[in-house]
């Protein structure tokens, strides 16, 4: 079985492979193809990935290529993690908003819009190559903005696909730190769009623990999540009034003024910080004695990224029909939204892909914002295509 990673020169690639190591007994990969246009970073990652695979006694070979078509050909799974324009484009997106006195962020607002316009055509190139060269393949998209890119594929390609984000699995793993138990013990009534979502209920072994989860988060994690006191106050108030757990990214809607103040006062944008982190990471990756992902990778962000990817692939490959939260074609699951809209909700994952679970209609207090942002996302896809 062949697995292709488009954007294989990413600093995330060792994290991705580490997740594959944990599930290789149930995902019979024999070839991993890393594709990237940046030959220097690609070469570093291919060599490091081979050392990691050898260290763990893995049964697959690692290949590198600058040809997307070569990587995709006959692949059963294709993971996209591309950044069109590189990190400098992200920094430009972030500064674009700040220059005009509005929020500058990678995936939301004007920054996310600019990123989407660059990225959608390239994601569709991958999907069309799969239609020709790997028609039975499955596309797993991590590329930001994930929801918009997923909708582009849904509306303009026949290939099976889902979008993934590490936010849902992050919420699950953080909750399990306090409850104990396994991932299957916790069920989230989760609804929204990518980077615009709410958890209406947490059920732990069938018991509703929503209020407990919210208050535990407020006590132990809110200060770290939202260091600005005004932002934190607004988000805590929102969660308590809604009675719902709020995605981290809702700060860009519920506390715009204080978030903008924070971004303006930072000496560097997040993209500029990431450039420094990645320079250190690739310096590490080049060490011929390094055979495990370095601890410094945690500074890059994206915790549980590989867990989300290979939980999904494992479920598709083995027809597990388990419940996971993904970006998926709505298909009537969320009332009042178009069938072809991408939504981030629980779905049953099996050999046919992701089947969205029908949801109660979102309450008016969150539905209006969802509809507003979904209209923007759909129009962005139209503009890019």
The pLDDT, as a whole number, for residue 300 is 80
Model pLDDT for residues 331-376, shown as the tens digit of each residue: 999 999 999 999 999 999 999 999 999 999 999 999 999 999 999 9
Q: How many helices (H) and strands (E) does the chain have?
A: 15, 13
Tens of pLDDT, residues 16-49: 999 999 999 999 999 999 999 999 999 999 999 9
User: What phi-psi label fits residue 189: left (phi over 0), alpha (psi between -120 and 50 degrees) or beta?
Assistant: beta
- Domains, in order of start, for the chain: 2-168+268-384 (3.40.50.720)
For tokens 């805590």, name the residue: 236
The catalytic residues are 249
The answer for residues whose C-beta is within 8 angstroms of residue 251's C-beta and 6 or more apart is 226, 231, 234, 235, 259
Read out DSSP for 362-377? Answer: PPHHHHHHHHHHHHHH
CA distance 164 to 377: 16
Q: Full-prediction pTM beyond 0.85?
A: yes
Please state at what angle helix 364-384 crosses helix 109-133, rounded to 10 degrees.
60
Express each pLDDT in 312-334 by its tens digit.
999 999 999 999 999 999 999 99
Cα 231 from Cα 263, distance rounded (Å): 12
Q: 216-232 burial by CB neighbour count: b if 16+ within 10 A, else e?
A: bbbeeebeeebebeebb
Q: Residue 224 belongs to what H/E stretch? A: helix 222-225
Q: Cβ contacts of residue 101 below 8 Å, gap of 6+?
A: 260
Phi, psi of 160 (to 5 degrees): -70, 135
Say if residue 315 is preceded by a cis peptide, omega within 30 of 0: no
- Residue 130, classified by CB atoms within 10 Å of its CB into exposed (0-12), middle (13-18) or buried (19+), is buried
Which among 5, 79, 22, 74 has a CA at the least distance from the CA of 293?
22
Q: Are 236 and 218 in contact (CB under 8 A)?
A: yes
pLDDT in tens, 97-151: 999 999 989 999 999 999 999 999 999 999 999 999 999 999 999 999 999 999 9
- Placement of tokens 């190591």 in the chain: 21
Give the tens place of pLDDT for each residue, 220-278. Answer: 999 999 999 999 999 999 999 999 999 999 999 999 999 999 999 999 999 999 999 99
pLDDT at 295 (0 to 100): 87
- Whole-number pLDDT of residue 302: 66
User: What proportion of the chain, given as a percentage, has pLDDT over 70?
Assistant: 100
CB hemisphere CA count around 322 (13 angstroms): 16
The per-residue b/e assignment along 337-372, b for 16 or more CB within 10 angstroms, e otherwise, is bbeebbbbbbbbbbeebbebeebeebeeebbebbee
Angle formed by the axes of helices 166-179 and 305-317, to 10°?
100
């Amino acid at each position: 079985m062949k697995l292709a990673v488009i954007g294989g020169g990413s600093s995330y690639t060792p994290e991705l492979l580490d997740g594959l190591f944990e599930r290789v007994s149930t995902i019979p990969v024999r070839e991993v193809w890393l594709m990237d246009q940046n030959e220097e970073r690609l070469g570093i990652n291919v060599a490091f990935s081979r050392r990691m695979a050898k260290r763990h006694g893995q049964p697959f070979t690692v290949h590198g290529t600058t040809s997307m078509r070569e990587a995709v050909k006959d692949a059963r799974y294709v993971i996209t993690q591309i950044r069109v324009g590189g990190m400098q484009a992200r920094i430009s997106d972030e500064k674009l908003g700040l220059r005009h006195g509005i929020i500058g962020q990678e995936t939301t607002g004007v920054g996310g819009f600019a990123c989407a316009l660059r990225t959608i055509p390239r994601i569709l190139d991958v999907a069309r190559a799969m239609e020709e060269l790997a028609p039975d393949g499955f596309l797993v998209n991590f590329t930001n903005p994930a929801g918009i890119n997923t909708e582009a594929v849904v509306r303009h390609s026949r290939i099976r696909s889902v979008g993934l984000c590490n936010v849902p699995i992050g919420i699950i793993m953080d909750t399990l730190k306090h409850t104990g138990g396994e991932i299957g013990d916790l069920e989230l009534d989760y609804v929204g769009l990518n980077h615009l979502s709410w958890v209406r209920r947490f059920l732990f072994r069938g018991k509703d623990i929503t209020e407990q989860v919210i208050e535990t988060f407020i006590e132990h994690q809110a200060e770290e999540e939202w260091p600005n006191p005004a932002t934190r106050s607004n988000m805590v108030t929102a969660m308590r009034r809604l009675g719902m757990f709020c995605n981290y990214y809702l700060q860009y809607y519920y506390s715009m003024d204080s978030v903008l103040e924070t971004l303006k006062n930072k000496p560097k944008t997040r993209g500029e910080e990431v450039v420094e982190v990645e320079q250190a990471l690739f310096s590490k990756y080049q060490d011929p004695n390094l055979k495990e992902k370095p601890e410094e990778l945690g500074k890059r962000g994206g915790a549980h990224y590989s867990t989300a990817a290979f939980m999904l692939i494992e479920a598709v490959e083995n027809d597990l029909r388990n419940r996971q939260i993904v970006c998926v074609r709505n298909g009537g699951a969320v009332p009042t939204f178009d069938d072809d809209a991408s939504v981030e909700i629980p779905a049953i994952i099996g050999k046919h892909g992701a089947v969205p679970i029908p949801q109660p209609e979102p309450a008016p207090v969150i539905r209006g914002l969802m509809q507003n942002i979904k209209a923007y996302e759909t129009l962005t896809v139209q503009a890019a295509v």
